[in-house]
Amino acid sequence: MTFVDVSEDGRFGYPDLPLYWCEPRRIPFLARIEGKLAGFALVMRRPGLCRDSEVWDMAEFFVLRRYRHRGAGAEMAEKIWCLCPGRWQIRVRSNNLPARGFWESAIAKFTEGPVSSQDFEIEEVVWNLFSFQSCGS
CATH of the domain at 91: 3.40.630.30
- Kindly tell me if the per-residue pLDDT of 109 is higher than 50: yes
Q: How many separate domains does the chain show?
A: 1
Residues 61-65, mean pLDDT to the nearest whole number: 95
Q: How confident is the model at residue 136 (pLDDT cuts 50, 70, 90)?
A: low
* Residue 9 located in a structural domain: no
Q: Tell me, what DSSP letter sits at residue 12?
A: B
Q: What is the pLDDT of residue 56?
A: 96
Task: Quote the domain boundaries for residue 105.
Answer: 23-134
Q: Does residue 17 form part of some domain? A: no
Residue 8 lies in a domain: no
Say if residue 123's pLDDT is above 90. Answer: no
Neighbours of 52 (CB within 10 A): 6
> Stretch 82-107: mean pLDDT, rounded?
95
**Helices (H), ranges, 30-96:** 72-83
Query: Which residue, 54, 49, 126, is CA-closest to 87?
Result: 54
Tell me, what's the pLDDT at 1? 44
Query: Is 0.95 topped by the overall pTM?
Result: no
